[in-house]
Amino acid sequence: MIGPRSLARLLLLACGVAVAMGCGSSPPLLSGAINVDPNVNPDRAGRPSPIVVRVYELKSVAAFNGADFFSLFDNEQATLSGELVGREEFQLQPAETRQYRRQLQPETKFIGVAGAFRDLEQARWRQAVPVPPKRSPTITIGLQARAVTVAVK
């Protein structure tokens, strides 16, 4: 049986834990937009095409920047090993604008974006940028005809 003093201590400890948990900071919210150019990802006839885009949360960028496209898209876990924190994938249409919101994990230091362009040889298909130490950074992802651009502020 628990005595009155032990019960009081237990309640005080539980209240202290609850207050400490409530005071913890929540993960930063990354928000912004993905803007797709009307002429994105042209086929051989020059017609724009839908594009698959991945947004990565990364601890560092060495493996992301050093990977070839197919290693990254087909085997990201092995390719990015300990750098990968999280990922989202989108299929976007030419001229589409999509709002983007994501709670960042505390270990996220970089955002990497990779686009599955038809003409990989001529495309700048990836870009990675550091995440600023702000509470709510803003991201703008641009998908041009053959290029990915990313800005985080």
For position 135, what pLDDT does the model report?
Answer: 79
What is the domain partition of the chain in residue ranges?
A: 26-152
Over residues 60-67, the mean pLDDT reads 98
Q: What is the DSSP letter of 147?
A: B
For position 148, what pLDDT does the model report?
Answer: 99
| Segment (H or E) for 69 | helix 69-74
pTM, 2 dp: 0.82
For residue range 108-144, list pLDDT tens digits in order: 999 999 999 999 999 999 999 999 987 789 999 999 9
Topology adopted by domain 26-152 = Immunoglobulin-like (2.60.40)
Q: Residue 21: which pLDDT band, with cuts at 50, 70 and 90?
A: very low
Q: Residue 18: which pLDDT band, with cuts at 50, 70 and 90?
A: very low
Q: Mean pLDDT, the chain, as a whole number?
A: 89
* Residue 9: both structure tokens together: 């201590």
Strand order, beta sheet including 51-58: 84-92, 51-58, 110-115, 126-130
For position 133, what pLDDT does the model report?
Answer: 82
For position 113, what pLDDT does the model report?
Answer: 99
Q: Residue 56: which pLDDT band, with cuts at 50, 70 and 90?
A: very high
Cβ atoms of 128 and 110 closer than 8 Å: yes
Sequence-distant (6+) residues with CB within 8 A of 133 are none
Which residues are paired to 84 by β-bridges? Answer: 58
Percent above pLDDT 70 for the chain: 84
